[in-house]
Structure 1
Amino acid sequence: MHVVLVLDHAHVNGGQAKVALDSAVGLRRRGYRVTVFAAVGPVDPRLAESGVRVVCLGQDDIASTTNKLAFAAQAIWNGRAAKRLAAELAHCDPRDTLVHVHAFAKALSPSIGTAIRRSGLSCLYTMHEFFLVCPNGGFYEYPAGRICHRAPMSAACLGTNCDARSYPRKLLRVVRHLGLEHVAGLPGLFRHVITISALQERVIAPLLPGRTVFHRVDNPVSVERQPLEREGRRDILFVGRLSTEKGAPIFAEAARRAGIRPVFVGDGPAAAELKARYPEAVMLGWKNGDEVQALMRRARALVFPSIWYEGQPLTIYEALACGCPVIVSDACAGREAIEDGENGFWFRSGDAGALAAHLTRLGDDALAARMAERAYERYWSAPLSVDVHLDRLDQVYGLVMRDARSASRPAGRPGLHGTAAAGPSS
């Protein structure tokens, strides 16, 4: 089977690309023929080493461009990407090729939809975020600092400045979304959609065609199992981008109320203000994966106070794998990994007082130790390994291909065993 993975970046620059490229390497090792089609380099060297074919256009994203106007046009409709992808897909055999789209919003643009549709190949979309249905990709009002419940592209949506930078930038996103819906037709193109949390499916299901088939595929977590550390667990950690939507200021305020020292691993736009307002906070900056996991193994808890939906926050699962309980906002998808009072706590989103109360409770050494044991045991009873992820992809790919063959078979024609072919389920 030939899988064409479509994404913005050919290197790991975040969670989306990591999942896509890790799966590319894993699928190749399992005998799949794999092509990675991406806009932005450099190319992850693991791809060539494992035999993955790579088509990288060498284009810019918003971080690397020197011409913002030209990039705005590319982000709305990347004609070069559409043309090159169409040429690639024209050589693919529809009997054994599946196009799996992971990301388009940072460089490729919705134009890829025209190439996929014209190819007639089976296709699948992983909903890492919400760009398929929401112009700003997050159902979040950045200026107001709250989740947005407006219908995408409604009058209320169009009149609201939800962009992190400016309203004119929001209007550019609206233009792009018009192309996504009415030119590329992406929501109708992808009959099969992978989701990474139950919350995500609940949010998007009413906004996609009724014929859409949803498949749950958890993202893989890269943590090596080590014995649980039981002694000296004191620090309360925040790991991630220091920003309002991630809830970093809420954690700082809650820690002060609870009389503890907050430890931040990461950086971001809220860092300077946090340093000035909460001088007691420890700012460690960004750390690599091994360093973060070492900190988690010695921490009393991880706080994940995000005030937007999230997709499937892998930081939470990494913490649990390290035996680190998690206190999580009840508004985000991360709550699905936590059984309140067992391997962590839920707290009311945005409520520093409620978070502070849980921080105070974890001052009880016996409670903290019990939660660490539960976190570790529950995660390793069903770990989200790369192999588990690939096994699930195998299943979903088979379902998608069988569905395509069933749809192309003339009505009334019997299946291979003389009965009508069954549709997929997941």
Structure 2
Amino acid sequence: MKILLVHNKYLHQGGEDTVFEAEYELLVSKGHDVEKVVFDNKELGGSLDKISLLWKVFFNLKSLNTIDRNIASFKPEIIHVHNFFPIASPSIFYSANKHKVPILMTLHNYRLICPSALMLRNGKVCELCIKDKFPFRSILFACYRNSRIQSFLLSSMLYAHKLLGTWESKIDRYITLTHFAKEKFLYSSLKIDSSKFVIKPNFTNNDKYEYVKEEYCLFVGRLSEEKGIGVLLESFSISKRQLIVIGDGPLKEMVERYVNEYTNITYLGFQNKDVILEIMLKAKALVFPSICLETFGMTIIEAFSCGTPIICSSIGAPQELVIDGLNGFKFQVGDANSLNDKVELLFKDSVLYNDMCKNARLEYEKKYTAEKNYEQLIAIYRDVIND
């Protein structure tokens, strides 16, 4: 199969970039003819370039021409988009339609129904704009980059393409990562028919797993408000259980302050995936304390692959991934004492814990291997092509 993968990379590499590359490598390994078109936010120059880009988010002719040329030379059977914002723009969908090439998009975040993409405001879940055709409240609250001007332009782009029918008619299929995420998009102002949504989780490759663990918990991720860093640090300052924190982000200084004050908290900074998996392999549990409505949780399935149970907050898609008492525990979102209680329960019930380790690995083998993911992905491609 000839497959064209399209992605707008972020300025700082994130999970979507990783998934894009992983799916590319998976498809190539299975013998498919795959080409990539990557738009990179590093192309953004000075302030004048950024101002001109704000208008290009509506319809970037340069991006349209780029996809036109790739379709003409490569002649793909299908196009799979992972992110179109901001440089690629919705123009890429019009290119695919013009050339009658089926196109689908993975919804890694909530951008189409929430200009901030996180559905989070002032540290709390915010769903004000989900059912608004024009998300005017995102402008009032300056939800995108804390700028009313940029929020206005982004909100206007989303609204304009609702009026044009772009989201309804120019994209043949949407992949959501969980049932939870699908429901948010399905019952939004997008008014997209349910038949256009399919569910396919992300995957990870890992053959190493262990059920004999060491006495520390682990956090891996961006050090930012929405990831629940505050409640994580508060909880482990209470419990005195060992915690290792891996990652980088705007709350790095907060983490370093806790490390200086509490000897049970260790900060390792940014680490590559191989190092992370070695540490995850021995961890008693992975803590996933997010306070926002995550669409998925890559570190959760990575921990599952290591045979490591999860302690996650009871919010968003992680609730769907973690089965309470089977492969992990759920705690009350934003509640440090609730998290502490679950950590203590995990450490004290050895029989239940051993079962959790085995169940975590079984969950990975059942749902999140590369082979399982390939079967789902190629079935989706065939269905879209034959529709």
TM-score, normalized by length of structure 1? 0.81
Q: Kindly indicate whether the alpha-carbon contact (under 8 Å) linking 2:186 and 2:194 is maintained by their aligned counterparts in 1.
A: no
Displacement of 1:357: 1.1
Aligned to 2:54: 72
The letter of the residue matching 1:328 is C
CA–CA separation in structure 1 for the residues paired with 2:74 and 2:277: 42
Aligned to 2:255: 274
Aligned to 1:372: 357
Q: More helix per residue: 1 or 2?
A: 2
Aligned to 1:414: none
Displacement of 1:325: 1.1
Describe the superposition over 1:331-386 as per-residue Cα deviations: whole angstroms up to 9, x where unpaired. Answer: 12112221101211011211222111112222316143343233234433x15222
Which structure has the bigger radius of gyration? Answer: 1
Relative to structure 1, is the Cα distance of residues 337 and 11 closer, same or farther in structure 2, using a 3 angstrom cutoff?
A: same
Q: Kindly indicate whether the alpha-carbon contact (under 8 Å) linking 1:86 and 1:115 is maintained by their aligned counterparts in 2.
A: yes
Corresponding position: 1:391 with 2:365:
no
Corresponding position: 1:130 with 2:121:
no
Aligned to 1:145: 123
Q: Kindly indicate whether the alpha-carbon contact (under 8 Å) linking 2:94 and 2:170 is maintained by their aligned counterparts in 1.
A: no
Q: Kindly indicate whether the alpha-carbon contact (under 8 Å) linking 1:12 and 1:21 is maintained by their aligned counterparts in 2.
A: no
The letter of the residue matching 2:192 is P
Q: Kindly indicate whether the alpha-carbon contact (under 8 Å) linking 1:193 and 1:215 is maintained by their aligned counterparts in 2.
A: yes
CA–CA separation in structure 2 for the residues paired with 1:203 and 1:163: 20
Displacement of 1:265: 0.6
Q: Kindly indicate whether the alpha-carbon contact (under 8 Å) linking 1:345 and 1:358 is maintained by their aligned counterparts in 2.
A: yes
Q: Kindly indicate whether the alpha-carbon contact (under 8 Å) linking 1:242 and 1:266 is maintained by their aligned counterparts in 2.
A: yes
Q: Kindly indicate whether the alpha-carbon contact (under 8 Å) linking 2:125 and 2:292 is maintained by their aligned counterparts in 1.
A: yes
Corresponding position: 1:217 with 2:200:
yes
CA–CA separation in structure 2 for the residues paired with 1:11 and 1:245: 19
Q: Kindly indicate whether the alpha-carbon contact (under 8 Å) linking 1:110 and 1:176 is maintained by their aligned counterparts in 2.
A: no
Relative to structure 1, is the Cα distance of residues 168 and 78 closer, same or farther in structure 2, using a 3 angstrom cutoff?
A: same
Q: Kindly indicate whether the alpha-carbon contact (under 8 Å) linking 2:203 and 2:301 is maintained by their aligned counterparts in 1.
A: no
1:11-410 equivalence runs, <5 A: 13-40=13-40, 60=42, 67-90=49-72, 97-141=77-121, 144-150=122-128, 151-152=131-132, 153-182=134-163, 185-207=166-188, 208-210=191-193, 212-226=195-209, 228-231=210-213, 233-277=214-258, 279-280=261-262, 281-364=265-348, 366=350, 367-380=352-365, 382-403=366-387
Displacement of 1:301: 0.9
Q: Kindly indicate whether the alpha-carbon contact (under 8 Å) linking 2:175 and 2:199 is maintained by their aligned counterparts in 1.
A: yes
CA–CA separation in structure 2 for the residues paired with 1:154 and 1:74: 19
CA–CA separation in structure 1 for the residues paired with 2:327 and 2:89: 40
CA–CA separation in structure 2 for the residues paired with 1:107 and 1:234: 46
CA–CA separation in structure 1 for the residues paired with 2:323 and 2:112: 30
Paired residues, number: 377
Q: Comparing 386-395 with 110-119, which one deviates more in the overlay?
A: 110-119
Displacement of 1:155: 4.2
Q: Kindly indicate whether the alpha-carbon contact (under 8 Å) linking 1:125 and 1:192 is maintained by their aligned counterparts in 2.
A: yes
Q: Kindly indicate whether the alpha-carbon contact (under 8 Å) linking 2:138 and 2:144 is maintained by their aligned counterparts in 1.
A: no
Relative to structure 1, is the Cα distance of residues 358 and 123 closer, same or farther in structure 2, using a 3 angstrom cutoff?
A: same
Q: Kindly indicate whether the alpha-carbon contact (under 8 Å) linking 1:128 and 1:195 is maintained by their aligned counterparts in 2.
A: yes
SS in 2 for 1:362: helix
Q: Kindly indicate whether the alpha-carbon contact (under 8 Å) linking 1:7 and 1:38 is maintained by their aligned counterparts in 2.
A: yes
- Structure 2: where are the runs of 5+ without partners? none
Relative to structure 1, is the Cα distance of residues 86 and 183 closer, same or farther in structure 2, using a 3 angstrom cutoff?
A: farther
Displacement of 1:169: 2.9
Q: Kindly indicate whether the alpha-carbon contact (under 8 Å) linking 2:3 and 2:32 is maintained by their aligned counterparts in 1.
A: yes
Q: Kindly indicate whether the alpha-carbon contact (under 8 Å) linking 1:110 and 1:186 is maintained by their aligned counterparts in 2.
A: no
Compute the RMSD of aligned alpha carbons: 2.6
CA–CA separation in structure 2 for the residues paired with 1:116 and 1:306: 36
CA–CA separation in structure 1 for the residues paired with 2:10 and 2:127: 33
Describe the superposition over 1:270-321 as per-residue Cα deviations: whole angstroms up to 9, x where unpaired. Answer: 1112322562231110111111111111111111011111122110011111
SS in 1 for 2:150: helix
SS in 2 for 1:263: strand
Displacement of 1:184: 7.5
Q: Kindly indicate whether the alpha-carbon contact (under 8 Å) linking 2:233 and 2:258 is maintained by their aligned counterparts in 1.
A: no
Q: Kindly indicate whether the alpha-carbon contact (under 8 Å) linking 2:27 and 2:374 is maintained by their aligned counterparts in 1.
A: yes
Aligned to 2:5: 5
Describe the superposition over 1:5-25 as per-residue Cα deviations: whole angstroms up to 9, x where unpaired. Answer: 111139993322222222223
Q: Kindly indicate whether the alpha-carbon contact (under 8 Å) linking 1:110 and 1:184 is maintained by their aligned counterparts in 2.
A: no
Describe the superposition over 1:210-252 as per-residue Cα deviations: whole angstroms up to 9, x where unpaired. Answer: 26422111212122234x1415x11111110011100011111
CA–CA separation in structure 2 for the residues paired with 1:61 and 1:205: 34
